[in-house]
């Protein structure tokens, strides 16, 4: 519940509680807060149990934590019946990214790819040369137009 509260924040909350409620009333306030939290937890557990009972015996293994999308996907990926493990293990993202990086930088990768051939200057592009292409159809630069 309070996983992201650090020691400094905790000390600040305690000091504020002492200042607001006073040292005399603070134990009573803490007891009231703890009693309220206990009642909320009991209400939550009884509601979960009622839902499980209403769903019937076919949903006896139903867990509310499975409604979290991350938990649901993790559980489905671990399911052997779907065969998703083989698909996940067959796809090597690092290798794919290395091939794309090599193609962008113009290096030769381990596996042949269908990308364009690398530049002749060892992966560097000379920006001072005019590009070699099938004709330069660009209009001439007009200094007055800018």
Can you give the pLDDT of all 146 residues of the chain as single tens digits?
Answer: 567 788 899 899 989 998 998 889 989 999 999 999 999 999 999 998 888 888 888 877 778 777 788 887 777 766 665 565 666 666 777 888 888 888 888 876 454 444 455 445 455 666 666 656 555 567 777 777 76
Are the C-beta atoms of residues 88 and 95 closer than 8 Å to each other? no
| d(C-alpha 97, C-alpha 40), whole Å | 49
With b for 16 or more beta-carbon neighbours within 10 A and e for fewer, the 87-104 pattern comes to: eeeeeeeeeeeebeebbe
* Per-residue confidence (pLDDT) for residue 72, from 0 to 100: 77
Are the C-beta atoms of residues 69 and 63 closer than 8 Å to each other? no
* Per-residue confidence (pLDDT) for residue 135, from 0 to 100: 58
Are the C-beta atoms of residues 73 and 67 closer than 8 Å to each other? no
* Per-residue confidence (pLDDT) for residue 25, from 0 to 100: 92
* Per-residue confidence (pLDDT) for residue 11, from 0 to 100: 92
| d(C-alpha 96, C-alpha 11), whole Å | 49
- Output the pTM of the full model: 0.41
């Amino acid at each position: 519940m309070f996983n992201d509260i650090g020691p400094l924040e905790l000390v600040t909350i305690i000091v504020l509680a002492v200042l607001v409620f006073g040292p005399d009333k603070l134990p009573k306030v803490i007891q009231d807060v703890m009693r309220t939290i206990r009642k909320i937890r009991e209400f939550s557990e009884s509601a979960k149990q009622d839902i499980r009972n209403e769903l019937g015996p076919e949903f006896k293994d139903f867990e509310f934590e499975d409604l979290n999308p991350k938990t649901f996907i993790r559980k489905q990926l671990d399911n052997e019946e779907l065969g998703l493990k083989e698909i996940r293990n067959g796809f090597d993202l690092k290798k794919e990214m290395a091939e794309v990086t090599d193609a962008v930088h113009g290096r030769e990768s381990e596996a042949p790819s269908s990308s364009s051939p690398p530049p002749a200057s060892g992966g560097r592009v000379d920006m001072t040369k005019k590009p070699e292409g099938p004709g330069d159809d660009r209009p001439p630069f007009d200094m007055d137009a800018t």
